Structure 1
Amino acid sequence: MKLVFATNNRHKLEEIRDILGDRFEIVSLSQIGCHEDIPEDHETLQENALQKARFVKERYGYDCFADDTGLEIEVLENRPGVYSARYAGPAKCSEDNVRKVLKEMEGKTNRKAQFRTVIALVMNGKEYCFEGKVLGEILTEQQGTAGFGYDPIFRPSGFTESFAQMEMKQKNGISHRGRAVEKLTEFLNKTVKDF
């Protein structure tokens, strides 16, 4: 079964393909000829994910799923949240975003945070949403070089390594995106007969 994943983020694509395995053919936006910057101008992760999935279905006709992910830090009143990708500015530079969070967290003793992902699926004329989250804390400095985004400064609860110190399989087994994709996969397996 072919599904469009509304992203051109190579890291996200690799993670999703790793989680879903070969049961589904996951294609990116560029593979369907979509090179537009799809708007994400809503105030919630769910609305942004739905906006992206609807855009692909309406413009290109493919069944599609899209995700929006936010890092929510308790002491920062759940910022950066829905603005995680562009927290330090419209360039969406991960290094700048990480630096900004570390600066804002200087001297803070409450370092509780969570990553939350919402996946929206538009398929067969219907819309579905799946959420995954993982609790953890913000480190005082970057640790590890794997992963992407805020992974080097986020340590999930119950672990001694940051997401950026974990192998992809280990991270996907516990991550927010992994948990949301698991729900998506369960749904697809129950719903789709010929995949």
Structure 2
Amino acid sequence: MKRPDSIVIASQNAHKVIEFEDAFKDTGVSIKSLKHFENVPEIEETGTTFEENATLKATGIMKFTHQAVIADDSGLVVQALDGQPGVHSARYAGDHDDDANNNKLLKEMQNKQNRNAYFESVLVYLTPEGDKVVASGRINGEILRARRGNNDFGYDPLFYVPEAQKTLAEMSTHDKNLISHRGNAIRNLLNKLLEMWDQ
């Protein structure tokens, strides 16, 4: 598998792009975001799994840019809610409305004893030559009954990590990246790619 000169991250999220830049900094591969392109098409996420959605995104952006692409899909999986919000995590109670999503989660979990949950991230690497590599990562935790922490993004204020004795929102961005689902997925993907590139 050929090592590309650059990889497009199928995201406009600056935090995500920085995470990838950091991970790939010693590989000789430069990282681009969708901000490098004009008239980027909206990709409908109609999949029923994280991998399906990540593949849809990767395929759409790869066809648009004609370059190697990494796309991700991730979300919160809560045991007591039969795996919800899952692929609908960002749109659980309103489109990318973190406050509404957290309020809905608190309401749904009100009378639940089982608070176990995990965040999962699935990454899909796709090239115009037809190479496809999939990697995933997760972090286990529990859903609290009230928000904690100010570094809040998504469900982080409600997601408690027992080993760290903190919610994700109580951690620095650096500490969170060391253990987060996306951080784990990026490391897993990079290890796979380094094994396959230039062989």
Contact 2:40/2:64, CA 8 A, preserved across alignment: no
Please point out which of 164, 174, 190 is paired with 1:159.
164
Please point out which of 62, 82, 85 is paired with 1:57.
62
> 2:91: which partner in 1?
86
SS of corresponding position for 1:107: coil
> 1:116: which partner in 2?
120
Distance 2:35 2:191 in 1: 27
Residue identity in the other structure for 1:26: I
TM-score by length of 1: 0.91
> 1:98: which partner in 2?
102
**Bigger Cα displacement from structure 2, 118-127 vs 22-31:** 22-31
Cα drift, residue 34 of structure 1: 4.6
Contact 1:11/1:147, CA 8 A, preserved across alignment: no
Residue identity in the other structure for 2:157: P
> 1:134: which partner in 2?
139
Change (3 A) 1:147 1:122: farther
> 1:72: which partner in 2?
77
Distance 1:38 1:179 in 2: 25
Structure 2: 5+ residue runs without aligned partners? none
Cα drift, residue 28 of structure 1: 1.2
Structure 1: 5+ residue runs without aligned partners? none
Give a deviation string over 1:32-90, Cα, whole Å, max 9, x none.
Answer: 2253321111101000000000111112201101000010001001100010011112x
SS of corresponding position for 2:85: strand
> 2:179: which partner in 1?
174
Q: Name the count of aligned residue pairs.
A: 192
**Bigger Cα displacement from structure 2, 98-107 vs 47-56:** 98-107
Give a deviation string over 1:118-161, Cα, whole Å, max 9, x none.
Answer: 00110242111101111110111111121511111111231211
**Bigger Cα displacement from structure 2, 34-43 vs 176-185:** 34-43
Deviating beyond 6 angstroms after TM superposition, the runs of 4 or more aligned structure 1 residues are none
TM-score by length of 2: 0.89
SS of corresponding position for 1:36: coil
Change (3 A) 1:104 1:156: same
